Each structure stands twice: as C-alpha cells, then as structure tokens.
Amino acid sequence: MGEFTVHRVRFFDHTPAAVRALAFHAGSERLALARADGALEVFNFNDNYFQEKVIPGQDGRTVEALCWVGQRLFAAGLNGEITEYDLENLKPRYTVEAYGGPVWTISANSQGTLLAAGCEDGTVKMFEILEKKIQFQRNLDRQKGRIVSLSWNPTGSQIAAGLMDMIRVFDAETGRATHRLLVDRGVGTSKSQEVVVWSVLFLSDHTIISGDSAGKVQIWDGHTGTLVRTHLVSKWDVLALAVSQDEDSVIAGTSEGTVIQFQFLSSTVAQQDKEWVRTRTFKNHSHDVRALVHTETAVVSGGMDTQLVVRPLLDRVEKNTMESSLRKIAFPHRSLVCCAKKAGLLLFQFPEHLELWRLGEGEGHGQAGDSLPVKRKPEKLIHLKRKGDDQICCSALSPCGGWMSYSTVSSVRLYRIQFDDNNISIIKVSKLPKSLCSVHRLGFSPDSSKLFASSSHSSVVVVALNQSECKHLSTLKPKSGSRQPVHLLVASEDGKWLATANTACEVHVYNLLTMKLHCTVPVFRSCPTAIGINPVTSNLVSVHADQQIFEFSLLQKEYTEWSRKLQKQGLHSLWLERDTPVTHVTFNPRNPDHILLHDTFMFCIIDQSLPLPEAKSPLYNQMMLRSLPEADRVRHSHAFKISKNFQHLLCVSLLEDLSLVVVERPLLDIMSQLPAPVRQKKFAT
C-alpha cells in the first residue's frame, strides 16, 4: 500500500446544525431537508441517497416547514415569510411576507393550487400558487392562539389545524371552522400548561391523527369530531407525524428520540373493520425527532442529533439487499476542507467563518503505526468572519497558499494572503470582475494563476490572478445547455484541463489553453461525487454516487482499457455496499498507477497495475496481507488497498512532500457538543 507520514488532523470543529424539517417529493424521489441554521439540502433517494444540492442559509431566516408543490420547493419560517427556492441557482427565488407574525407551518393541497400557512396570530392564510409566484388569497376564520400544524384533506375540501389545546377543522371553500376538537392536557404538573398540537394529519377517510406535547397520538373521526383512540406513546412531546402514501401506516416521532409506527390493521384476518394499532418502535436518535417522512419503503427521520436516518421497513423491502440496511447520514457529501499542497495549509469552511491552519511538523522516523513526536504544533493563522447576512456556500485556497476566496449566495470575496517571517497579512482584493456574482463552486489552478468559479447554467468563469489586478479571462459554457449547478470543479496539475461535474450527472472537460470545451464524458445514470485528473496520464477518474468508478482518457476521448475491464468484471460487492460516497480523488505524483480515494469510513489506494479483486476474495485484506510472508503477498494482493485506520474522514490529501493529511471529525465529538437529551429513566441505573 505504500508508506506515508500522516498528519492526523482533528481540529476541524465542524458541527452540523439540527434537522428542523423534511419534505419528500415522491415523483422524483427527492428529499428536502432544512437545518436549524436555515440551510437547505436536497437528497436524491434514487441515487443512493446522494446529497445533490445545498442551499446555504441566511441570518434571520429560519425554516420551520418545507413543502413541495410539484418540482417547486417552498419554505416558511419564524421571520414571517414564505420563500420559494431556486433549485438551479441554489438560492431563494423570492420571498412573500405573510403578515401574520411568525409562520409555523405551511401545507399545500394535493392539487397543488393552494398553499396554506399557519401563523402566530391564529390565522390560516391561503395563498394561490401561480406560475411564477404565490399570491395571497384569503384568511380562514381566525383562532385564538398560534397555528402550529396544518394538514389538508387529500380531496382538498377541508383542512385541519393544530393549535394550543385544540384542533380546528376548516372548510376550505368557505373558510369557516366546522369542528373544534379539544385535546386533553397532560396529567399531574403539566395540567396547568397548555398542550401544543405539534402535528396533525388529515387522511382521506376523514380520520384526523394528532400528536401533541402531552405525548399522545390521538385518532379522531373527522366527520363527527369525536375522539376514537388515544395512544400515550411518550412522557414527553410527540413532535412529528407522517403517513405513508397508501395511508395504512403512520409514524410518530417523540422527544425521546423514538419513532413509533402505527398500522391500520383489521383485528381479525378475514374482516374489513380496521383500526390503528401501535406496532413497532424504532430508536435511532439520541435526541428529539423533529421531522419525519414516510416513504414507500422506509421511515426517514431527522432531529436534534443532526443525523438523517433512513430506516427501511423490513416488511416492504426485499431482505438482505442494499435497500434493507439502515442508513445514517451524518456528514455532508461535499468537501468543506481545502488543502494547499505546496504550502501545507488547511482551509476549513464553516457557515459563519473560515479558518486557515498551518499543519504541524513532526520529526524523526518511526515504524509503521508509530506516532512521531511533534516538533511544531499546528497553528491557526486566520479566523475570517464573513460579511453580510448570507452564509458561506463555498471556499477555496490556492495551492501556493497565497490566495483565498469564498462565496455566498450574493457575492464572492477574494483575499491575498502574504506571509513575511511570522507576520501574516490578509488583503481583500477589492476589484473583482462583475461576472463573479453568484457562484456555486470555487477553485484555483495548480499554479495559482487562475481562479475558476462555477456560475449559473453550468458555466465556469475563469479569472486571471495577478499581484495587481484580477481580470476576467473567459466564460466556459457546456454545449448541453444544462441549467443544473456545478458541484465539482477540478483543474489538472499541468494547467491544461479543467473538469466540471453538475447535478445532471454531466462531466465536461475544458481545454484551458484554448478556453474551449474539449469533450463531454458520456453521461452516467448516477451523479459523480468526486472527479480527478491524473497529472501524468491525463485520465479523468470519476467516482459516482452508486460507487462506480470510471477512467476516461482525455486524449483519446474514450474510456481507458482499465475502466472497461473494471466495468466488465464488476466491482466487489463489499465496495458497492458502502453507504457513504467517495468525496475526494487525488493521485500520487510519484506513481501514476495509484489513485487515492476516501469516503467517511475508509481510505483507499487503487493500484491500477494490480489485478482487480475477485468476487469471492476478501476486499479488506490489508491486515491479512501483513501477516503473510513476502512471497505470498503478491499472490493475494489486489488493486483495492483499503485502510480503515481513520474514521469519519472529511478530507484526505497528499502534500507535495508526499505526506498525507487526514482530517477526521469523530462522531462522538459532535455528539458531545449537542445539548443534553430529555431525561429518561433507564432500567438498573
């Protein structure tokens, strides 16, 4: 596998924000996720749960509720505005003030014509959804107390609203309240506290299901407004409810971190009379479950512990397949770390600020596995706070360490960093070309002479960097005319090629000498998660969300022999079963056969000179190989050399002196920063 000096970096305090809301679009199998800091993420469930898009948040704009209307995504928050997002340019398209105080919830009817918003002042406001915007239509009967939850009847004729201490049912036509369902308060000391109906569901058979802060899931008859059943599921709050498409299963998320399933079952096998029965309990969260989605095959939950959990329902999926395994998504699927290979600097991106660190230095030599004494400790050089309300969406550091750039939704900033002796000065480059305004991805050329910035319509703006000024060189545009944003941007070592990948799964390669599109790699069905250009052979290696690996020769404009062989033989099943995407591809400049890859849980060197692993041979065989005598090692070794020594990897990068930088963020460190969960009595404690 080769030996490296490893910089094991654990000072990146990346802490994701809590999950606040989830919305699932069944047609395109896309899940929209809102975090507590206002950031939105879009996951493609068809493409191995890949995090396709990230829309950064904005100060003062929180998201309380999400709602898909067709392919359009709406969000509302406590700032009292309803926002529609532009998923192509990854920014809010427009916001509409609801004029009802903070908006707690929004819900669209199944026809996609009306959007209801529940406001703090007790009104349910109806908005008409038009082609380009939404327009206020009218208010429903105003209630005392805030509207916390809303649910449309699938026919669109009625709407149920959860308030404090009660549920109201409105006629959507007339706007009159037709039923008033009083919800019991909790017992004991919580008797004096009013109960919050956190979530309400209106089913097509006029059953209303509510979850409230007294820990109850209640089932009501919507025709008569009577209580049918009460399930006490928690000592604390029931925060979220979700129903399956065919309305035979309901899930409820509680403050205890449990998700409880209710199923609509007939009590005797042959008969038709069905009732809601509490069945399974899932405990995959340590903290509150704030948002739930019930897909056809799985329970998707998110909450305070920042993880998105996809728990397949084993009665709905084939057993022992990829689909039937539990999946926890804890880390972003894009890189937040930028490494200056020449200068030995690390740039960490936070939503609020950037941090520039200098790597430490070790001394002496040791055996494999030894930890070397540290001569110089790592040092935080710059802590750069962002300007403006918008959060940082991308950042880049030039390989020489002299340039640093970041971008928000609205603006791009470029800094010149100068090191003289022990002083570091940072100068903002004031004059930037106008074309750099809305950028999704930033990158520097290996010689630090050019800045690449991906812009709308998958175009890339190339800016020439100079001590004195920055000049717009060119705008590279693909021929396909795709409107999807670019999420990967890589320039080759020799400065000749620039490769981009967008969420429409297209990979374009530009020739930087001619500033023209060189070629387009054949579109694969799965989105690329990492691309890299081999500095020696000029082959483009792309790794996709479904874990496939391709190697494309830029000179011949065709897949290489190795790539064809790999596709013919197929990847090892254990490789395909990994559940986190590869987020970096780099190369060893000394040995062009080596491709370095990593995902969250492993770090791999693919040696193209070695045979591919057989389907039956063990994939993770590094430990076994070490125990074998030298002669046998060759026979047993294969192309995939995988190390699991480092876990929860955010970045693996090879410096110029061939030492490896490994940025880890242990999950336990994130957990320890979370607030304490609700107290629960544990047996025998």
325 binds other proteins (CB under 8 A): no
Q: In the complex with other proteins, which residue's Cβ is closer, 227 or 625? A: 227
Given the rule CB under 8 A, which of 133-141, 147-155, 278-286, 603-611 is the region that contacts other proteins?
278-286
CB of 93 to other proteins, least distance (A): 42
Window 601-620: contact mask with other proteins (x via CB under 8 A) = --------------------
Output the smallest distance, CB 280 to other proteins, in A.
6
Per CB under 8 A, the list member of 316, 328, 472, 496 interacting with other proteins is 316
Nearer to other proteins, 128 or 315 (CB): 315
Work out which of 14, 72, 185, 278 binds other proteins, going by CB under 8 A. 278
Residues forming beta bridges with residue 92, ordered by sequence position: 85
For position 286 contacting other proteins by CB under 8 A, the verdict is no
Question: Least distance from C-beta 284 to other proteins, angstroms?
Answer: 12
With respect to other proteins, which residue has the nearer C-beta, 261 or 448? 261
Residue 266, interface with other proteins (CB under 8 A)? yes
From CA 130, how far away is CA 190, in angstroms rounded?
Answer: 44
Smallest separation, CB 232 to other proteins (Å): 5
To other proteins, the closest distance from the beta carbon of 196 in angstroms equals: 20
**Piece in contact with other proteins (CB under 8 A), picked from 202-210, 258-266, 298-306, 444-452:** 258-266
* Contact window for other proteins (CB under 8 A) among 227-235, 352-360, 521-529, 569-577: 227-235
Q: Are 582 and 641 in contact (CB under 8 A)?
A: no
**Phi and psi at residue 387, to the nearest 5°:** -105, 150
How many angstroms separate the most distant Cα atoms in the chain? Answer: 84
Q: Which two tokens stand for residue 238?
A: 């029931």
Q: CA-CA distance, 198 to 151, in Å (whole number)?
A: 12
Q: Least separation, in Å, of the C-beta of 443 and other proteins?
A: 43
Does residue 269 belong to the site contacting other proteins (CB under 8 A)? yes
Q: Is 678 a binder of other proteins (CB under 8 A)?
A: no
Contact call for residue 272 and other proteins (CB under 8 A): no
The two three-digit tokens of residue 180, written as one number = 């008033």
Instruction: Determine if 328 is a binding residue for other proteins (CB under 8 A).
Output: no
For residue 670, give both structure tokens.
């994130």
Residue showing tokens 């990492």: 530
Contact between 684 and other proteins by CB under 8 A: the answer reads: yes
Distance of alpha carbon 149 from alpha carbon 162, whole angstroms: 5
Contact between 556 and other proteins per CB under 8 A: no
* Residue 625 CB contacts under 8 Å (≥ 6 apart), including other chains: 633, 636, 637
123 Cβ partners below 8 Å, 6+ apart? 100, 139, 140, 142, 143, 147
Length of the chain measured in residues: 685
| CA–CA gap between residue 557 and residue 537 (Å, rounded) | 13
Decide if residue 128 touches other proteins (CB under 8 A): no
Nearer to other proteins, 56 or 215 (CB): 215
> Does 628 help bind other proteins (rule: CB under 8 A)?
no
What binding mask, one character per residue, do residues 177-216 give for other proteins by CB under 8 A, x or -? ----------------------------------------
Residue 454: phi and psi, rounded to 5, are -85, 140
Smallest gap, in angstroms, from Cβ of residue 301 to other proteins?
18
Is position 680 an interface residue for other proteins (rule: CB under 8 A)?
no
40, 38, 671: which is closest to 304 by C-alpha? Answer: 671
Nearer Cβ to other proteins (267/672): 267
CB of 265 to other proteins, least distance (A): 5
Residue 326, CA distances (Å) to 22, 165, 445, 463, 578 in order: 18, 36, 40, 45, 12
From CA 403, how far away is CA 385, in angstroms rounded? 16
Say whether residue 268 binds other proteins (CB under 8 A): yes
263-271, 361-369, 518-526, 595-603 -> range binding other proteins (CB under 8 A): 263-271
- Do β-strands 5-9 and 659-664 pair in parallel, antiparallel, or remain unpaired? parallel
Tokens of 317: 């999926």
231 near other proteins, rule: CB under 8 A: yes
Q: Does 228 bind other proteins (CB under 8 A)?
A: no
Q: With CB under 8 A as the contact rule, which of the stretches 260-268, 289-297, 626-634, 653-661 interacts with other proteins?
A: 260-268
Contacts of 318 (CB under 8 A, 6+ apart): 324
In whole angstroms, what is the distance from residue 235 CA to residue 256 CA? 8
Closer residue to other proteins in complex, CB, 279/425: 279
- The one-letter code for the residue type at 577 is E
Nearer CB in complex with other proteins: 219/606: 219
Q: What is 597-665 written as a DSSP string?
A: EE-SS-EEEEETTSPPPPSSS-S--HHHHHHS-HHHHHHH--SEEEE-SS-SEEEEEE-TTSEEEEEE-
Q: Degrees (nearest 5) of the Cα angle 160, 250, 158?
A: 20
Q: In whole angstroms, what is the distance from residue 509 CA to residue 534 CA? A: 13
Tell me if 233 contacts other proteins by CB under 8 A: yes
Number of residues that bind other proteins (CB under 8 A): 20
Separation of alpha carbons 82 and 418, rounded Å: 44
Within its chain, how far is the Cα of 375 from the centroid?
Answer: 38
The nearest distance, CB 386 to other proteins, in angstroms, is 43
Q: Please provide residue 105's backbone torsions phi and psi, each rounded to the nearest 5 degrees.
A: -155, 150
Residue 246 touching other proteins (CB under 8 A): no
Cβ distance to other proteins smaller for residue 266 or 680: 266
| Stretch of 34-42, 155-163, 226-234, 414-422 lying at the interface with other proteins (CB under 8 A) | 226-234
Closest approach, Cβ 268 to other proteins, in A, equals 5
CA gap 367, 666 in Å, rounded? 25
Judged by CB, which is closer to other proteins: 249, or 445? 249
Query: Using the rule CB under 8 A, is 146 a contact of other proteins?
Result: no
The nearer residue to other proteins, 232 or 473, going by C-beta atoms, is 232
3-class DSSP state of 530:
strand
In three-state form (DSSP H/G/I as H, E/B as E, the rest C), the secondary structure along 158-208 is EEEEECECEEEEEECCCCCEEEEEECCCCCHHHHHCCCEEEEEEECCCCEE
For other proteins, the closer CB: 481 or 683: 683
> Which residues are near other proteins by CB under 8 A?
229, 231-233, 261, 263, 265-269, 277-281, 315-316, 683-684
